[in-house]
Amino acid sequence: MTMALPRNSLRGFLVQAKAAIRTAIDKRQRIAFVIGNESADLDSLTCSILYAYVQSMAPPRNDFTPLYIPVTNIPRSGLQLRPEFLALFPHANIESQHIITLDDLPDMSVIQSKLPPENTKWILVDHNALQGQLGKIYSDRVAGVIDHHEDENKVRKDTGSEPHVIMKAGSCTSLVIENCQASWDLLSTSAMSSGAAHAQGDSLSDDSAVVSLWDAQVAQLGLASILIDTANLQSKDKTTEHDIRAVEYLEAKIMTCPRLSAQYTRDNFFKEIDSAKRDIGGLKLQDILRKDYKEWEQGKLRLGISSVVKPIAFLQEKAGKEAGSQSLNKAFLRALQKFAEVRNLDVYAVMTTSTSTEGQFQRELLVWAFNHQAKSAAVKFASNAKQELGLEDWHDSNAEVHEDDEDNHWRKLWWQRNVEHSRKRVAPMLREAMGKE
């Protein structure tokens, strides 16, 4: 019977996990990965780390391997595009160097020989279909899923000892907490009574203090995602009972640690992470577009969607400054076309969120189709989605974004007045208009 790993801090666990990847590759050992979606937002990051951390130290449910490796589904360079990560890491006593990214896996040209599919197991969090090159190689090795997006029916229902959870929640992290809560409580209780925690060498006086600190650090990691995804539990459209219960559970973990509870308040913590997430002014436009980007193949068409936390006007101004152009809109459209061409997209969408001058949350949606088949899909989407999304034409005398019939391109920009619908809803609607696979 394989043994669970001894209780460790999050920092210690991530160091151990990174070393285990190298060993598994060198010695052809079996390895289990927990991986979020390719937009690699805060939710995907914390889901993968939380699930891997708790399950690696909980009593193992099978003999495949006791260690779960959390993978953030971007290259290492992408971490610097996410200021909210950098703001959060000190709260969990970790640094960027501890995060496991795609760069820690073998190069895609040799990954199949270095990590044979039969030696791997994959748990998906914050998505339910493994995309891209990893999906082409390892989709048959997906052994479990926890997600809050529309079910793409790519993961078998019978996942044995691993979870198969796909349900509505503001944050997928809330569902992970729900799934891991019993195991987390058990391992905390056992570590306090066994003396294993103090053996890790923390300067705190006793095992309960050490474990309480470790639990509180991990709890803050999870709280950040849930609070961001539910607007501090204030969004009526997004917040569910799963989110409320998860926040209560995680805050109780923080309250057991005097060192961290004395300085924690929910509102201040949310404001710190939220402000960091919106601080993208120093990024290049191409980096802003790829910061929170997801891609799908639907039949013969490829769809990409960028989510941006600034309005179209901000992106136009950014494009104009970078291009040294007086025509902000032309510079902006050239930048979008460049982004889409590099990724061989047939349909590209940009979704923005921002706050109006009156303090109201608002959304914009831009859709660009680049060929005849894609144009047909985009026109169909515009017709089907108009009422549900509350699409209203976007007009600006200085920035005409709409286009039709030029080189079979079709482009449209709207205000999306039904703001409760995020990419979780818009992406399936676009894919449906693009046709079945």
Specify the amino acid at residue 46: T
Q: Is residue 393 part of a domain?
A: yes
> Is 407 found in the same domain as 290?
yes
Position 405 pLDDT exceeds 60: no
Dist. CA 430–CA 298, nearest whole Å: 10
> Is 293 found in the same domain as 263?
no
- Cβ neighbour number for residue 304 with a 10 Å cutoff: 21
Instruction: Examine the fold and report which residue of 222, 243, 270 is the final residue of a domain before the chain moves on.
Output: 270
Strand partners, 301: 298
The predicted structure's pLDDT at residue 397: 42
Position 199 pLDDT exceeds 50: no
Q: Give the CATH number, domain containing residue 154.
A: 3.90.1640.10
Q: Is residue 212 part of a domain?
A: yes
> Is 166 found in the same domain as 135?
yes
Contact call for residues 10 and 217 (beta carbons, < 8 A)? yes
Integer angstrom CA distances of residue 395 from 64, 192, 218, 283, 377: 57, 62, 46, 27, 23
Which residue, chain included where needed, has tokens 């309005």? 311
> Is 121 found in the same domain as 173?
yes
The predicted structure's pLDDT at residue 198: 47
Residue of 406, 306, 409 whose CA lies nearest to 351: 306
Backbone angles phi, psi at 27, to 5 degrees: -110, 10
How much is the average pLDDT of 69-95? 95
H-helix segments, 28-165: 42-57, 83-88, 111-114, 132-138
Q: Is residue 276 part of a domain?
A: no
Dist. CA 432–CA 437, nearest whole Å: 10
**Percentage of the chain with pLDDT > 70?**
91
> Is 377 found in the same domain as 251?
no
Q: Which domain holds residue 289?
A: 285-434
> Is 174 found in the same domain as 104?
yes
How much is the average pLDDT of 285-314? 94
The predicted structure's pLDDT at residue 91: 96
Q: Is residue 3 part of a domain?
A: no
Q: Are strands 142-147 and 120-125 parallel, antiparallel or unpaired?
A: parallel
Position 101 pLDDT exceeds 80: yes
The predicted structure's pLDDT at residue 190: 74
> Is 220 found in the same domain as 76?
yes
Query: How many structural domains comprise the chain?
Result: 2
> Is 295 found in the same domain as 255?
no
Torsion angle of C-alpha atoms 397, 398, 402, 403, degrees rounded to 10: 120
The predicted structure's pLDDT at residue 60: 65
Position 437 pLDDT exceeds 60: no
Q: Is residue 335 part of a domain?
A: yes
Model confidence pLDDT, tens digit, residues 110-162: 999 999 999 999 999 999 999 989 999 999 999 999 999 999 999 999 888 89
The predicted structure's pLDDT at residue 205: 52
Dist. CA 243–CA 171, nearest whole Å: 7
Position 396 pLDDT exceeds 50: yes
The predicted structure's pLDDT at residue 299: 85
Q: Is residue 278 part of a domain?
A: no
Position 75 pLDDT exceeds 90: yes
Position 400 pLDDT exceeds 70: no
Position 338 pLDDT exceeds 60: yes
The predicted structure's pLDDT at residue 82: 94
Model confidence pLDDT, tens digit, residues 355-374: 988 989 999 999 999 999 99
Specify the amino acid at residue 433: A
Q: Give the CATH number, domain containing residue 343.
A: 3.10.310.20
How much is the average pLDDT of 317-341? 93
Model confidence pLDDT, tens digit, residues 23-57: 999 999 999 999 999 999 999 999 999 999 999 98
Q: Is residue 277 part of a domain?
A: no
The predicted structure's pLDDT at residue 402: 60
The predicted structure's pLDDT at residue 195: 55
Q: Find how far residue 182's CA is from the centre of its chain.
A: 24
DSSP letter for each residue of 103-140: GGSPPTTTHHHHS-GGGEEEEEES-SS--HHHHHHHGG
Instruction: Examine the fold and report which residue of 244, 270, 296 is the final residue of a domain before the chain moves on.
Output: 270
> Is 186 found in the same domain as 130?
yes
Mean pLDDT of the chain: 90
Dist. CA 376–CA 433, nearest whole Å: 9
Among the ranges given (146-155, 328-337, 391-400), the one the predictor scored with the smallest mean pLDDT = 391-400
> Is 204 found in the same domain as 318?
no
Residue of 289, 306, 305 whose CA lies nearest to 434: 305
Q: Is residue 280 part of a domain?
A: no
Instruction: Examine the fold and report which residue of 220, 239, 270 is the final residue of a domain before the chain moves on.
Output: 270
Per-residue DSSP letter, 256 = T
> Is 71 found in the same domain as 218?
yes
> Is 243 found in the same domain as 175?
yes
Reported as a pLDDT band with limits 50, 70 and 90, residue 398 is very low
Reported as a pLDDT band with limits 50, 70 and 90, residue 208 is confident
Which residue, chain included where needed, has tokens 């969004």? 235
